């Protein structure tokens, strides 16, 4: 999904500043399945404004720069409709963690064990955040994606807890090489 479409999705929920759009991907409803940073959000908003998909109103703030608030137009709503009605691309899992684990034999077992502990804590933290959202009044699609995200984190957590000993144990049982 391109960042322009992601911005349209956030704006379909209400008017937002670029900062508020970023927050939707950091800790809001999109945090567990999409990512967009300021470096891509603002160029996308500029393009969407040029294409009349969003409007921008500057709000004066006391002692601070003007705040730009973006609003979805009917053109933008149609663009979002078209995007969500298109066949989605394949999901791609990009994970520095998995890349490192792929080369686990290059790590000392204690470092690998610490890395897995940190990832377990990460998944528990994500589940805690999602539990807070679960009590909110959510649209059916929001509830479904939240449930999917929770299932992903629960499965990853279970796998790490149930199988870490296989990887760490294998590394512990290898002959130690003097450096």
Q: Are residues 114 and 139 in the same domain?
A: yes
* Domain of residue 44, residue span: 3-84
Q: Are residues 153 and 102 in the same domain?
A: yes
Q: What's the number of CA atoms in the CB half-sphere (13 Å) around residue 89?
A: 6
CATH number at residue 50: 1.10.10.10
Burial 8-19, CB ≥16 within 10 A → b, else e? bbbbeeeebebe
Helix, strand, or coil (residue 11): helix
Residue 179 lies in a domain: no
pLDDT in tens, the chain (179 residues): 788 998 999 999 999 998 898 888 777 777 666 777 778 888 999 999 999 999 999 988 888 888 999 999 999 999 999 999 999 888 887 889 999 999 999 999 999 999 999 999 999 998 998 888 777 788 898 889 889 989 999 999 999 999 999 999 888 887 765 44
Q: Are residues 79 and 103 in the same domain?
A: no
Q: What is the CA radius of gyration of the chain?
A: 21
């Amino acid at each position: 999904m391109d960042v322009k479409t992601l911005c349209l999705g956030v704006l379909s929920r209400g008017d937002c500043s670029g900062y508020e759009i970023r927050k939707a991907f950091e800790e809001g409803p999109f945090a567990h399945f999409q990512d967009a940073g300021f470096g891509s959000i603002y160029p996308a908003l500029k393009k969407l404004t040029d294409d009349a998909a969003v409007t921008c109103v500057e709000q004066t703030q006391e002692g601070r720069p003007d705040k730009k608030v973006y609003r979805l137009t009917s053109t933008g709503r149609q663009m979002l409709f078209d995007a969500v009605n298109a066949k989605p691309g394949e999901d791609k899992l990009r994970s520095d963690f998995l890349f490192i684990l792929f080369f686990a034999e290059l790590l000392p077992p204690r470092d690998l064990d610490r890395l897995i502990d940190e990832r377990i804590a990460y998944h528990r933290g994500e589940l805690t955040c999602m539990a807070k959202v679960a009590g909110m009044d959510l649209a059916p699609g929001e509830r479904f994606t939240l449930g999917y995200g929770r299932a992903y984190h629960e499965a990853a957590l279970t796998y790490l807890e149930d199988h870490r000993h296989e990887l760490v144990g294998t590394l512990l049982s290898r002959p130690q090489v003097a450096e």
